[in-house]
Amino acid sequence: MKKKVKTMKMRYPANVLLMAGLTVVSILMIAPLLIMIFTSLKGDSEIANTTGSLLPKEWKFENYLLAMQVGNWAVYFKNSLIVTVLAVGGSLIFNSLSGYTFARVTFKGRDLIFIALLLGLMVPPQVTIIPQFILLKSVPLFGGNDLFGQGGQGWLDSYYALIVPELSGSLGIFLARQFYLGFPREMDEAASIDGSGIFRSYWRIYLPLSGPLLATLGILKTVHVWNDFFHPLIYTNSEAMRTIQLGLQVFHGQYEIKFNLLMAASVVVSLPLCIAFFVFQRHFVQSLIPTSVKG
């Protein structure tokens, strides 16, 4: 009893110290973002003033309207939205379906195919970018190409280039397989007595239980595709195909002097994922933790 009182006494000032320390760390971590927001609300003259204060003297919310009028942001948002929704939706269906098949169905060549898929975990996207570029450029009968994939730009500078390569993904298949391996064998037996084929079992029994898997894969893919700069940079060139990340970078190239508008555009581009993060923080955190660490 005496000991317990002592540890409680020890804990109290230590806790206050920890809270203070974490507050400082948190403020340091979000300071660049706060400055980004404050700067986005400052007037032009305040931006040019080297001894300006942290907070805007006059809160210029119209900066956001001005920033959105420079460049076709509606088009960039539409592009990012279309690409993200289709890439995430498609990859969720394909990954969960094949993950289930690899985990719960026995078929010839299964392990060999799965190992070949796992090799993809070792391949940096920058290694495949050149052949992918040539491949996308050579898709026959698209983008002005003839039957032999010559003469035009194929799938380059189209939604296909940004969506189709994202529909697979070794990590997604691997995580899906791990997830479906976690169910007891009796579930398949019950389903087969029931007369369900393997696809019916997936659709009727496993898919409705796949919430945690779909949340993890969905978050990983959404963040990846929405924030992707590398592939849109290489695969698109027209303004009509620009995603928001590329749009933001081009905006910077064109309007470097207007940092308040640049910061406003950066805030707008970041907002959707930041809101999603705060609403679904628990799921975001879960999606980052690999099964080996959880175990």
Partner 1 sequence: MISRWNRILPYIMIFPNVAIYFVFIFIPVLWAIYLSFTNYTILNPGGWVGLSNYETLLKDGIFHKAFWNTMVFWVLKVIPTIILGLIVAAMLNAGIRAVALFRGAIYLPGVLSSVAVSMAWLWLLHPRNGPINAIIKMIGIPPQNWLQDPELALPVVIVVSIWTNIGFAMIIYLAGLQGIPTHLYEAASIDGATGLKKFVYITVPMLKPITFFLFITLTIRSFQVFDIVYILTGGGPLNSTTTIVNQIVKTAFEEYNMGYASAQAIVLLLITIIVTMVNYRVGSKRTMD
108 to 167, contacts with partner 1 by CB under 8 A? 110, 113, 116-117, 119-135, 137, 164-165, 167
Asked whether position 179 contacts partner 1 by CB under 8 A, the answer is no
Q: Which is nearer to partner 1, 191 or 246 (CB)?
A: 246
- Identify residues 56-85 at the interface with partner 1 (CB under 8 A): none
To partner 1, the closest distance from the beta carbon of 130 in angstroms equals: 5
Subset of residues 243 to 282 that bind partner 1, contact rule: CB under 8 A: 245-246, 248-249, 252, 259, 262-263, 265-266, 269-270, 273-274, 277-278, 281-282
Q: How far is the CB of 107 from partner 1 (least distance, A)?
A: 4
Task: For tokens 């898929």, name the residue.
Answer: 117
Rounded to a whole number of angstroms, the minimum distance from the CB of residue 279 to partner 1 is 11
- Of the candidates 137, 163, 158, the residue with the CA atom closest to the CA atom of residue 148: 137
Interacting residue with partner 1 among 6, 9, 22, 181 (CB under 8 A): 22
Site residue total, partner 1 (CB under 8 A): 100
Q: How far apart are CA 49 and CA 41, in angstroms?
A: 14
Distance of CA 223 to the CA centre of its chain: 1
By CB under 8 A, name the one of 6, 9, 15, 254 that touches partner 1: 15
The DSSP string of 8-35 is HHHHHHHHHHHHHHHHHHHHHHHHHHHH
Tokens 């394909």 — which residue?
Answer: 94
| Among 132, 133, 150, residue whose Cα is nearest residue 141 | 150
Residue 123 CB, shortest distance to partner 1, in Å, is 6
Q: Which position among 155, 179, 206, 284 is part of the footprint of partner 1 (CB under 8 A)?
A: 284
Least distance between partner 1 and beta carbon 142 (Å): 15
Nearest to 215 by CA among 101, 95, 77: 95
Q: How far apart are CA 42 and CA 57, in angstroms?
A: 7
Other beta carbons less than 10 A from residue 74's beta carbon? 9
